[in-house]
Structure 1
Amino acid sequence: MKKIAYIGCLGLIGIISTEFGVIGILPQVAEHYQISIDKAGILLSAFALVIALTGPFMTLLSSGFDRKKIMMLSIAIFLLTGVVSSLAPPFWLLILVRLLPAFLQPVFISTAIAAALAHADQKKAHQLMGIVLGGIAIAMVTTVPFATYMASIFNWQASFVVQAVVTGLALLAIFKGMPPMPVREKKSYGTQLKILKNPAFLISATMNFLMVAAWFSTYSYFADYLGKVKGMDTKMISYMLFLFGITGVFSNWLAGKMLSISIPGTTAFFLAGTVLVPFMLEYSGGNGWSTIMVIAIWGFLYAPTFLNASAYLISAAPHALEFANSLSTSFGNLGVSVGTMLSGWVIADMGVKQSPWVGMCFGLMALLMIFWRTLLERNSKFFSHISDQ
């Protein structure tokens, strides 16, 4: 199943290139359309909000269809978005065309993970999931900084050309490399919806939302922060995105190993970065080498966010894998949307320098959710043990 996992990984690289590729070009987009940076941020927050609101429903509706066909349809729409966006349409149309693939993004991710795990044993499950979700870290080290670099040489539209090329390659890989994968046994909607009654699952979903919001409060404005606070130009920012991704590739691999030992411990370890990084950014000041070191650490701690979020949420609902995955994607993207929007409002009022502190507040609440679920499960095991005696 590794072949299918790697194909899913390539598809995810295309998806992440489309969703987060705008982060490095937001200042250029804002300048082109003569709008403020927080309004340009709508390109990211609106995309994420659509995923958050529609993801679970779209996944339930598509759960009975051939997984290969669903993955091809999803990537084809991402390809269309990249092509149209590269033509620099009016801003309202740019937003609209970016919303289309958002409806199918969680469908692709949950389907790709389910396809990779279809015949895998439990011991390899986290590693295969890590390969698929590793597409996020790989995109951060390859396509996202490369798209930003191309935008610095040519114009911001070049970023979307890069996204279109990657999604085109992913579409070809799915078509050529994946066998038909019809769903043999479709689970009822009721069976999958039962997980919403599980308190541990609801706490985990809340943690998922808060953790992603914590990271994206700052990461969404990565280019603006480094430009205005650290005095970097677009080309230097593209190098920092590359560094950010390089450390992330390693940490994503490491997290896949650590999750097999302890899911809550691994999640809490990387989440602690949302508290640590704001202080490091603040006290690195204008020192170039210190800032580079902080960005490397930032990328290391940020990269496994979506892997940790999925593993943490699925551990509370192991019998509804695809639906749990879609909810993980939806709550995560709700975090992207809320983190980006709330931080944008703070930036508009107080400046981009304050965005990391917004993230820290979300991060502390997410750590509290991990503690709450751990306490809940320990109490549940204790009372279960008492009743057995």
Structure 2
Amino acid sequence: MKKFAYIGCLGFIAVITTEFGVIGILPQIAEHYKISIDKAGYLLSAFALIIALTGPFMTLLTSGFDRRKVMLTAISIFLITGIVSSLSPPFWLLMIVRILPAFLQPVYIATALSVAISKVDKKYENQMMSIVFSGVAIAMVTTVPFATWLSSLYSWESSFIVQTIVSLIALFVIYFSLPPIPVKEKKSYGSQLTILVQPTFIISTAMNFFMITAWFSTYSYFADYLNKAKGMDMTMISYMLFLFGIIGVFANWVAGKMLGKSIVKTTAFFLSGTILIPVLLYFSEENFVANILVIGIWGFLYSPSFLNASTYMISSVPQSMEFANSLATSFGNLGVTLGTTLGGFMIVNKGVEYNPWISLVFGVLAFLMIILRKIVEKKHKTLQLCKE
């Protein structure tokens, strides 16, 4: 039933608007609070770190609750965050209200995905998941650039007003359109925790972590990078975010189709951007047309990263989808934290124009994990044949 997938997608738009909506306004926030850009980046990295540290535990704790109630509770917290943030509170309070919804973000994603695939045949599961994950790209093409554009016209607080409105709409749609979905059979904690010792799952987790670190070392400072390295103003940056996102919507659709044929090849194809984009950004210099083309390619290869990471990890332990996805979200956000931190360190010590090279290094590490998993799986298959 596609309806459930589209409802999950709408909530995902609210989630992503809240998490990544600050990317386009970090320079303005830094200026308002009289802090450095790397300290403003804590608003993103702290959010991601909380997800990384608490995601799996929160998902396990809520695994027995009605899924509709879980989704409503999560989006309600995102709504409260948007309201308080739009009032330009002291920086310490802004940091606290930014952190609160992070506790339930992976819970929402894991729940929305399980609801989306609950009524469909197994062969359509990846397509339903891609619909839910398209919320990332849709947010990048609508709410995130729109919030950035508004902040360039008025003030950075208007960005949080957009986040509040999106969360409110998602809350109403979930409340009125999604029926109660009680959990029929709750899996034991022990049975789900066994995946933590499986070699292929551990390697897949490392791949996810390195891949997201690679992307976010530059993407977290998208506005600052385009401004200082490419000479674009805030209005043009909002247009670039729009371009980035609109191509990303198409990319998620393509990735959903490709994942149905080969998860490994699809993941490797989109991961190639972590190596390709730094090189293209270097050679495009301040050529306006070239930079638009590179940003388009960047948006296409980056946008399905969370979908690919989750699907790649789940494929190693299909029997524990929700818990595996929560770990994918957690380690992905740990990658966001490390990428943002390393990016901030690079900006302070060298300059934002060097950030893409961090992407290349971690992209290579992610590729090595894909190769390593293939080797481990081949050895395991050989051992199984020998036993038979």
TM-score by length of structure 1 reads 0.99
The equivalences for 1:4-153 within 5 A come to 4-153=4-153
- For 2:95 and 2:210, the matched residues in 1 are separated by 25
Q: Can you list the C-alpha shifts for 1:183-220, whole angstroms capped at 9, x where unaligned?
A: 00000000100101110000001111111110000000
Shift in Å at residue 131 of structure 1?
0.5
Which residue identity lines up with residue 23 of structure 1 in the other structure?
I
Shift in Å at residue 286 of structure 1?
1.1
SS of residue paired to 1:319: helix
Q: Which residue of 2 aligns with 1:242?
A: 242
- For 1:288 and 1:361, the matched residues in 2 are separated by 26
Which residue identity lines up with residue 119 of structure 2 in the other structure?
H
Q: Can you list the C-alpha shifts for 1:221-276, whole angstroms capped at 9, x where unaligned?
A: 00000000111110000000000011111111000000011111100110010000
SS of residue paired to 1:320: helix
Which residue identity lines up with residue 373 of structure 2 in the other structure?
R
Which residue identity lines up with residue 220 of structure 1 in the other structure?
S
- For 2:385 and 2:269, the matched residues in 1 are separated by 30
Shift in Å at residue 119 of structure 1?
2.5
- For 1:98 and 1:222, the matched residues in 2 are separated by 20
Shift in Å at residue 343 of structure 1?
1.4
SS of residue paired to 1:63: coil
- For 2:196 and 2:228, the matched residues in 1 are separated by 43
SS of residue paired to 2:21: helix
| 1:291 is aligned to 2:314 | no
TM-score by length of structure 2 reads 0.99
Q: Can you list the C-alpha shifts for 1:252-309, whole angstroms capped at 9, x where unaligned?
A: 1000000011111100110010000001001001110000000000000000000000
The equivalences for 1:228-267 within 5 A come to 228-267=228-267
Shift in Å at residue 81 of structure 1?
0.3
SS of residue paired to 1:87: coil
Q: Can you list the C-alpha shifts for 1:304-344, whole angstroms capped at 9, x where unaligned?
A: 00000010000011111110110010000000001100111
- For 2:138 and 2:313, the matched residues in 1 are separated by 23
Q: Can you list the C-alpha shifts for 1:135-181, whole angstroms capped at 9, x where unaligned?
A: 00110111110000010111000000000000000000000000000
Which residue identity lines up with residue 174 of structure 1 in the other structure?
I
Which residue identity lines up with residue 309 of structure 1 in the other structure?
A
- For 1:371 and 1:151, the matched residues in 2 are separated by 44
- For 2:107 and 2:317, the matched residues in 1 are separated by 18
Greater Cα shift, 286-295 or 116-125: 116-125
Query: Aligned Cα RMSD in Å?
Result: 0.6
Greater Cα shift, 200-209 or 375-384: 375-384
The structure 1 segments of at least 4 consecutive aligned residues displaced by more than 3 Å after TM superposition are: none
Shift in Å at residue 386 of structure 1?
2.5
Greater Cα shift, 13-22 or 374-383: 374-383
Shift in Å at residue 383 of structure 1?
2.2
Shift in Å at residue 38 of structure 1?
0.4
- For 1:81 and 1:53, the matched residues in 2 are separated by 20
Shift in Å at residue 387 of structure 1?
2.4
